[in-house]
């Protein structure tokens, strides 16, 4: 028996076994702290045909105790922690472009900030899934769809996260298979694991992809992924931690095209097309006499 809803709506998009895959363009930290760059990336996502863009709600002082944290992490966060007062404008700009705005909360106070912009769903990053159950529980209590990535996670850790969602009474869960290698090699993608997640937890599943491929996400959809998440950038030559393994604009467009073509090819009914019917008459085997046959024969 399914423990979770098999039809989930995020914004105007329905996510189900029979609906088109919900494609999230992961901006992550590729905004480089620039509102202009963030909007440029939203424009790229809209042009490519994705359904949503995703940012990250990061704040070093809320996530770490400075005295116990390596210095490089503070330097890193100084380059990637986008001011969350910009999210109101970015959410409005995303909506204007026909996209769902998402940001992954990483500390409890970020939930309150994201609730103020009435975010349509919550995307939970892999480190939160295995290490911050109280944040998962708090997000689940918002009674909005939850998309949980399971990179790094053992089954026991995924069990714990799913139990936190169930305990909240929220039945809108989508689990994303994820391999947290940046980038992931095709041989390590293990797409078949999505079936294990589906059978074990009775929820919709998807794939957070870190390969450099524009085809592997389409394969994931063919294997049952209802949500696809993929990093993208304006240029892999740009400075920043996430640019080097992200798709560039033309590649993002190609990925979306591959996914939509795969969906068109996934029909299960058997029907003879009009062209086949026409050709059938031409190629049909016919019985022809080698010589005249008398009428009285």
Supply the CATH number for residue 138's domain.
Answer: 3.20.20.70
Dihedral over Cα of 84, 88, 89, 91: its sign: positive
Per-residue pLDDT of the chain (297 residues; tens, 9 = 90+): 568 999 999 999 999 999 999 999 999 999 999 999 999 999 999 999 999 999 998 776 667 677 667 777 778 777 778 888 899 999 999 999 999 999 999 989 899 999 999 999 999 999 999 889 999 999 999 999 999 999 999 999 999 999 999 999 999 999 999 999 999 999 999 999 999 999 999 999 999 999 999 999 999 999 999 999 999 999 999 998 899 999 999 999 999 999 999 999 987 556 767 877 777 777 777 777 777 777 775
Predicted pLDDT of residue 170: 97
pLDDT of residue 74: 76
Cis peptide bond prior to 99, omega within 30° of 0: no
Is residue 285 in a domain?
no
Q: Encoding tokens for residue 239?
A: 């400075």
Write phi, then psi, for 56 (nearest 5 degrees).
-130, 130
Q: Can you list the positions of beta strands (E) in 31-145?
A: 52-57, 100-105, 122-124
Residue 296 falls within a domain, yes or no?
no
Distance (Å, rounded) from C-alpha 141 to C-alpha 93? 27
In a domain, 294, yes or no: no
Establish if 276 belongs to a structural domain: no
Residue 3 belongs to a domain: no
Print the domain residue range for 230: 11-269
Distance in angstroms (rounded) separating the CA atoms of residues 119 and 93: 13
Tokens coding 219: 């394969």
Using an 8 Å Cβ cutoff, are 31 and 41 in contact? yes
CA distances from 71 to 56, 59, 118, 241, 269 (A): 21, 15, 35, 16, 59
Residue burial 219-244, b: 16+ Cβ < 10 Å; e: rest: bbbebbbbbbbbbbbbeeeeebebbe
The answer to whether the beta carbons of residues 207 and 180 sit under 8 Å apart is no
> How many Å apart are CA 132 and CA 157, to the nearest integer?
10
Residue 170 domain flag: yes
Q: With respect to residue 132, please indicate whether it lies within any of the assigned structural domains.
A: yes
Instruction: Report the domain count for the chain.
Output: 1
The whole-model pTM stands at 0.90
Annotate 187-216 with b (16+ C-beta within 10 A) or e (fewer). eebebebbeebbeebebbbbbbbbbbbbeb
Asked whether residue 292 is domain-assigned, the answer is no
């Amino acid at each position: 028996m399914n423990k979770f809803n098999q039809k989930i709506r995020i914004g105007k998009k329905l996510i189900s076994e029979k609906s088109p895959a919900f494609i999230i363009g992961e901006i992550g930290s590729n905004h480089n702290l620039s509102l202009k760059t963030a909007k440029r990336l939203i424009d790229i996502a809209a042009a490519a045909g994705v359904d949503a863009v995703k940012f990250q709600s990061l704040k070093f002082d809320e996530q770490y105790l400075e005295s116990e944290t390596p210095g490089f992490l503070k330097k890193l966060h100084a380059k990637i922690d986008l001011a969350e007062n910009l999210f109101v404008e970015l959410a409005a700009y995303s909506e204007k472009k026909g996209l769902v705005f998402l940001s992954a909360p990483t500390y409890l106070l970020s939930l309150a900030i994201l609730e103020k912009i009435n975010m349509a769903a919550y995307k939970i990053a892999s480190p939160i899934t295995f290490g911050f159950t109280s944040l998962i529980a708090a997000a689940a209590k918002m009674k909005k769809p939850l998309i949980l990535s399971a990179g790094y996670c053992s089954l026991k850790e995924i069990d714990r996260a799913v139990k936190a969602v169930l305990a909240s009474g929220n039945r809108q869960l989508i689990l994303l298979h994820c391999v947290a290698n940046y980038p992931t090699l095709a041989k390590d993608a293990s797409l078949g694991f999505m079936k294990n997640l589906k059978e074990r937890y009775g929820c919709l599943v998807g794939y957070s992809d870190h390969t450099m491929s524009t085809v592997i996400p389409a394969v994931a959809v063919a294997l049952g992924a209802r949500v696809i998440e993929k990093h993208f950038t304006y240029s892999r030559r740009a400075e920043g931690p996430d640019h080097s393994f992200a798709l560039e604009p033309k590649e993002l467009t190609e990925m979306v095209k591959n996914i939509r073509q795969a969906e068109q090819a996934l029909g299960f009914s058997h029907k003879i097309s009009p062209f086949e019917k026409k050709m059938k008459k031409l190629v049909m085997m016919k019985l022809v006499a080698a010589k005249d046959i008398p009428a009285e024969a």
